[in-house]
Amino acid sequence: MGQIEWAMWANEQAIISAWVMLTGGIIGLTGFNRWEIAAYSVAAGIFIILLEYPRGKRKKGHSIERRYQQYLTRVIHACGTITSNYYIRFVLHLLLCVPAGFQLPTIMGALGLFIASIIYFVAAFHGEKWQPVGIDTKGAPISSNQTVITQPPSQPPPRAPAHVRPKRPAQPSEGDPTIL
Amino acid sequence: MGDWLVNEGPKWLILVLWFGINIGLFVGYFLFYHQGTQFYYLRLLLGHGLAWARAPAACLNFNCMLILLPVCRNLISYLRGSCGCCRRSIRRQLDKNITFHRAVAYMICVHTAIHFGAHCYNLELLVAAQTDPYNLPFFFYGNGTDGLISKLTSLQDGVNSTYINPIRMPNSDAIIEGLKTIAGVTGVVITLALIVMVSSSTEVIRRSYFEVFWYTHHLFIVFFIGLVLHGIGGIVRGQTNLDVHNPEECFRRYLEWSPDDATCKIPQFQGGGAQTWKWVLAPMILYVAERCIRFYRSQQKVVITKVVKHPSKVLELQMKKRGFQMQAGQYIFIHCPSISRLEWHPFTLTSAPQEDHFSVHIRIVGDWTGALSKACGAEEPEFQDAWKMPQIAVDGPFGTASEDIFRYQVGVLVGAGIGVTPFASVLKYIWYQYCNPDITLKLKKVYFYWICPDTLSFEWFADLLQSLENQMLERGMGDFLNYNIYLTRGWDANQAKNIILHEEENSDVITGLQQKTHYGRPHWDQIFSNIAQSHTGVSVGVFFCGPKGLSSTLHHMCNQHSSSDPRGVHFHYNKENF
């Protein structure tokens, strides 16, 4: 299946299901039994849309952001592991979809969200993580085998003897006159 | 204005027609269920919900019939080829098939939402009528009394009696009762399939993870099976014995209904049964035929006769296939099972129809093209044997051909960016026609304008222009084709020095062509007025392939420089959708 990132699809599925759940919840508030479930579905739908709105950074290729997602990216990034780990999202969506399954208008949203949670499980299983787009996460200290440059060199580099030096066209240069 | 009608008119006509049929069906079925006497008692139970559910159902039937048709690309190609009588602008609408497929899909989503929403209310009302008819939900709108509701619901299947309420048992849970019906189960399944298909068809997923899109889109098989089965339960029940029981009079006397009564016998009901199959059967058959054709074509042998490596990671494949016929400017889909069993990628044909092979120029940018390059041995330094070439399948050719240029005495071809690729085929085609002694062409002069940021990845096209130029000089026909290349990215300091040094020479320093390369964007006003002056009294065909902004500029120029005198020069703008 090539270089697929399941989380990208899980994200789309979760957002669409959240919209369906939200709309179903609004319908459910207009006089159906168990209006509490409808109210819950509206709230859960809004929550999931906000959570899933910022797309994560793709491992390979150009990450396409949703419009204005940078504000939510910061919020999601600030929550740390809770939002970046996809196992947690799998459990979260699984739990969130259950109550919505008990009222008729919201049942389609619940089923859609269930599918999204499964795809998130697959994503987590493949080791994917949510990374913020546009925020530099590599603030880690430099590893030990990297040389750290603190000051520019004060001496010019040593030169090879004149007869093996590569020939250059005559140019005026500052510094030592070249003896060819 | 006339040009707009010719170019854009057919598209809007089709959209308006389609939308109009949707509205017509919606309103028609809405009124049928809202006013029909046979649904009087059902409306008593359901109120407006009945009409609001059945109207989108009719539209769903219509749109589900349409949705399979735009993806039958071989059928479409056949239609385009065989409708030689139709205007090209009408045939060209067939190229927008996927756009139409998406529009129909969105309409299906909208109608599904209305249909499901209305049935939520309906189901709750039917369950409440069966369970607690004296305590109906507040959105109950039917104007029957509680007693009448109870009476209707109690009608059973038996001697002289049929039921109206499909919910046969009291239960406080609408979901469980709904899932006991075929319509309920199939409805949930196909709506879920629709949601998953939509989520995997977003542009991000389609472009980046094609296999997800392609595999999940096959849920349409589940969708269509469920759709056909959705109505077989016949749970929307209309009255069948209106002649012996007029609901508008008898509803008041519900306590007196009996088989012996003179005017109000017991009302009998029957479901309409499945209707959807009548709408979708033919398209399903056509689609199955389409897949069979694609499979058959994929089995036909395609031989790679030559692989040429061009600069800037461009690979040219020359191929042969028995019975392959193409026209200039068309494209094909290429399939390489050893790389991916699923992917078919489109490429514009760059060879002319008169050649004995067909060729494509492929830019190596992604996984599939990289793997293709490796499989064809383009990475190896030495020549590859023919038997080492990978197996290839080809579908097509598709797309509109550009033969209209021969209707004019003077042709102006403008290719911008990647839009220049089909012109390779078109220019070669024109050249072969011109060199053919049996044909006298009306076309006497061709101006070609190539606008690109730089010639990177198109060195092969510059080579093609050079070879055409040499051939023309050999035959003494240097005047037939006039090239102009515009490099819009400008030049850097080194290039500037080089250009100044070689300013006096005959051939261009960048491309090697006799005509010089220009820098910056073309001055269309000047170009068009020069052409108008050199060719008075003829009709000039202008053909463009590239981004939209330039298209409107050229269109404007054509209108501006066309002389109002019928004997003067006329520019005709043809927007090509390659």
Task: Kindly report, residue by residue over A7-59, the tens digit of the pLDDT.
Answer: 999 999 999 999 999 999 999 999 888 899 999 999 999 999 999 999 998 88
Q: For chain B, what is the mean pLDDT? A: 85
pLDDT at B134: 80
Amino acid, single-letter form, for residue B334 = I
Report yes or no: A105 at the B interface, CB cutoff 8 Å.
Answer: yes
Contact predicate B65/B224, CB 8 Å? no
Burial of B159 (0-12, 13-18, 19+ CB in 10 A): exposed
Whether B59 contacts B26, CB under 8 Å: yes
Checking if the pLDDT of B83 tops 70, the result is no
Interface test with B, best of A107, A119, A128 (most B CBs within 10 A): A107
What pLDDT, on the 0 to 100 scale, is given for residue B515?
Answer: 63
Nearest Cα residue to B99 out of B135, B63, B70, B133: B70
Predicted local confidence at residue B513, as pLDDT: 64
**In the predicted model, is pLDDT for residue B497 greater than 70?**
yes
Relative to beta strand B344-348, strand B331-335 is: antiparallel
How deeply is A96 buried, as exposed, middle or buried, from its count of CB atoms within 10 A (0-12, 13-18, 19+)?
buried
Residues B294-351 pLDDT 10s: 888 888 889 999 998 888 888 999 999 988 988 888 888 898 989 888 778 888 899 9
Q: Using 50, 70 and 90 to split pLDDT, how confident is the model at B511? A: low
Q: What is the DSSP letter of B514?
A: S
Determine the pLDDT at residue B474. 84
B36 touches chain A (CB under 8 A): no
A122 touching B, CB under 8 A? no
Q: Which pLDDT belongs to residue A173? A: 42
Q: Quote the tokens at residue B302.
A: 């395609």
Q: pLDDT band at A175, cuts 50/70/90?
A: very low
Interchain CB distance below 8 Å, B212 and A4 = yes
> pLDDT exceeding 70 applies to what percent of chain B?
89
Torsion sign, CA atoms B462, B463, B468, B474: positive
- Is the pLDDT assigned to residue B73 strictly greater than 70? yes
The rounded distance, in Å, linking the Cα atoms of A44 and A94 is 12
Residues in chain A, total: 180
> Among all chains, which residue has been given the structure tokens 């949707």?
B22
Does A174 have pLDDT greater than 50?
no
Q: Per DSSP, what are the bridge partners of residue B319? A: B304, B358
3-state SS class at B454: coil
Q: Across-strand partners of B539? A: B570
Give residue-wise pLDDT tens across range B23-59.
999 999 999 999 999 999 898 888 899 999 999 999 9
Per-residue confidence (pLDDT) for residue A41, from 0 to 100: 97
What lies within 8 Å, CB to CB, of A158 at 6+ separation is: none
Q: Cβ B204–A105 below 8 Å, yes or no?
A: no
Q: ipTM of the predicted structure? A: 0.78
Q: What is the mean pLDDT of residues B243-271?
A: 86
Contact by Cβ (8 Å): B412, B540:
yes
Structural element, H or E, at residue B429: helix B421-435
Summarised one tens digit per residue, pLDDT across range A74-120 is 899 998 888 899 999 999 999 999 999 999 999 999 999 999 999 99
Is-contact B71 B333, C-beta < 8 A?
no
User: Which residues sit opposite B482 in a β-bridge?
Assistant: B447
More confident residue, B51 or B544: B51
pLDDT above 70 (res B576) = no
| Rg of chain A in Å (alpha carbons) | 28
The total number of residues shown for chain B amounts to 578
Encode B8-36: b = buried (16+ Cβ within 10 Å), e = exposed.
eebbeeeeeebeeebeebbeebbeebeeb
Q: Is residue B135 pLDDT above 70, yes or no?
A: yes
Average pLDDT over residues B209-225: 89
Using a CB–CB cutoff of 8 Å, tell me whether B177 touches chain A.
no
Residues 392-451 of B with CB under 8 A from A: none
Question: What would the two tokens of residue B495 be?
Answer: 């290039």
Structure tokens at B274: 């499945």
Please tell me the number of Cα atoms within 13 Å of B370 on its side-chain side.
3
Residue of A5, A8, A9, A98 to mutate, testing the B interface (most B Cβ within 10 Å of its Cβ): A9
Mean pLDDT of B506-524: 71
* A104: nearest CB among B120, B211, B367: B120
Nearest by CB: B195 against A20, A32, A104: A20
- Using CA atoms, how far apart are residues A126 and A120, in angstroms rounded to an integer? 10
Average pLDDT over every residue of B276-281: 94
Q: Please answer yes or no on whether A108 and B195 come within 8 Å at the CB atom.
A: yes
* More confident position, B348 or B494: B348
Give the one of B188, B200, B211 whose C-beta lies nearest to A2's C-beta. Answer: B211
Task: For chain B, say whether A178 makes contact (Cβ under 8 Å).
Answer: no
Rg for chain B, CA atoms, rounded: 33
- Burial of B132 by CB count in 10 Å (0-12 exposed, 13-18 middle, 19+ buried)? middle
- Answer whether residue B117 shows pLDDT above 60: yes
* DSSP secondary structure code for residue B251 in this structure: G
Please say if the pLDDT value at position B521 is more than 90.
Answer: no
* Cα pseudo-dihedral B5, B6, B7, B9, rounded to 10: 50
**Identity of the highest mean pLDDT range in B138-152, B459-473, B523-537:** B523-537
Residues in B touching A107 (Cβ below 8 Å): 175, 188
Min Cα distance A49 → chain B (Å) is 14
Contacts of A8 in chain B (CB under 8 A): 204-205, 208-209
CB B47 within 8 A of CB B141: yes
Instruction: Confirm if B107 and B20 have CB atoms less than 8 A apart.
Output: no
Of B476, B195, B452, nearest in space to A112 by CA: B195
Tell me which range, A126-140, B116-130, B246-260, B433-447, is most confidently predicted by mean pLDDT.
B116-130
Of the ranges B313-317, B355-359, B546-550, which one carries the lowest mean pLDDT score? B546-550
Confidence of residue A177 (pLDDT cuts 50, 70, 90): very low
d(CA B223, CA B12): 30
- Tell me what the mean pLDDT of segment B499-515 comes to: 65
What was the pLDDT predicted at B491? 67
Residue recorded with tokens 């168990």: A34
pLDDT in tens, B373-389: 999 988 887 777 878 88
Is some CB atom of chain A closer than 8 A to the CB atom of B135? no
Instruction: Report which residue type is found at B310.
Output: H
Q: Which long-range contacts (CB under 8 A, 24 or more apart) does B439-443 make?
A: B441/B406, B442/B406, B442/B407, B442/B408, B442/B409, B443/B405, B443/B406, B443/B408, B443/B409, B443/B410, B443/B411
Ramachandran area for residue A134 (φ above 0: left; ψ -120 to 50: alpha; else beta): left
**pLDDT of A149 over the 80 cut:** no
State the Cα–Cα distance between residues B304 and B378, nearest whole angstrom.
13
pLDDT tier at A140, thresholds 50, 70, 90: low
pLDDT in tens, B157-167: 877 788 888 88
Contact between B546 and B416 (Cβ < 8 Å): yes
Pick A177 or B160 by higher pLDDT: B160
Written as one string, the DSSP assignment of A136-159 is ----PPPPTTS----S--SSPPP-
Tell me: pLDDT of B490 over 80.
no
At A84, the amino acid letter reads: S
Q: How much is the pLDDT for A170?
A: 45
Cβ contact, residue pair A13, B196, below 8 Å: yes
Structure tokens at A105: 């208008």
Unique residue bearing structure tokens 């992917």: B343
Is A112 in contact with B192 (Cβ distance < 8 A)?
yes
Q: Which uninterrupted H or E stretch holds B481?
A: strand B481-487
Which of A13, A53, A120 should one mutate to test binding to chain B, selecting the residue with the greatest count of B CBs within 10 A?
A13
The answer to whether B342 faces chain A, any CB pair under 8 Å, is no
pLDDT class for A1, splitting at 50, 70, 90? Answer: very low
pLDDT of residue B577 exceeding 70:
no
CB contact under 8 A, A9 and B174: no
* pLDDT beyond 90 at B141: no
Is the bond preceding residue B56 a cis peptide, omega within 30 degrees?
A: no
Distance from the Cα of B130 to chain A's closest Cα (Å) equals 15
**Predicted local distance difference test score (pLDDT) of residue A15:** 96
Q: Find the angle CA(B390)-CA(B396)-CA(B399) to the nearest 5 degrees.
A: 135
Q: How far apart (Å, rounded) are the C-alpha atoms in residues B428 and B351?
A: 7
As given in the structure block, the two tokens for residue A37 are 């479930």
Helix (H) or strand (E) holding B348: strand B344-348
Residue B516: pLDDT above 70?
no
Strands B481-487 and B517-519: parallel
DSSP string, B71-97: G-HHHHHHHHHH-TTS-HHHHGGGGGH
Taking alpha carbons only, the member of B109, B28, B32 closest to residue B63 is: B109
**C-beta atoms of A104 and B178 within 8 A:** yes
> B154: pLDDT confidence band, cut at 50, 70 and 90?
confident
The secondary element (H helix, E strand) that includes residue B122 is helix B97-131
So what's the pLDDT on residue B281? 96
Please name the residues in contact with B544: beta carbons below 8 A apart, sequence gap of 6 or more.
B413, B414, B415, B416, B419, B550, B551, B554, B573, B574, B575, B576
Which residues, at least 6 apart from B409, have a Cβ–Cβ distance to it below 8 Å?
Answer: B442, B443, B444, B445, B535, B538, B539, B540
CB of A38 closer than 8 Å to CB of A52: no
Share of chain B above pLDDT 90, in %: 28
pTM: 0.80
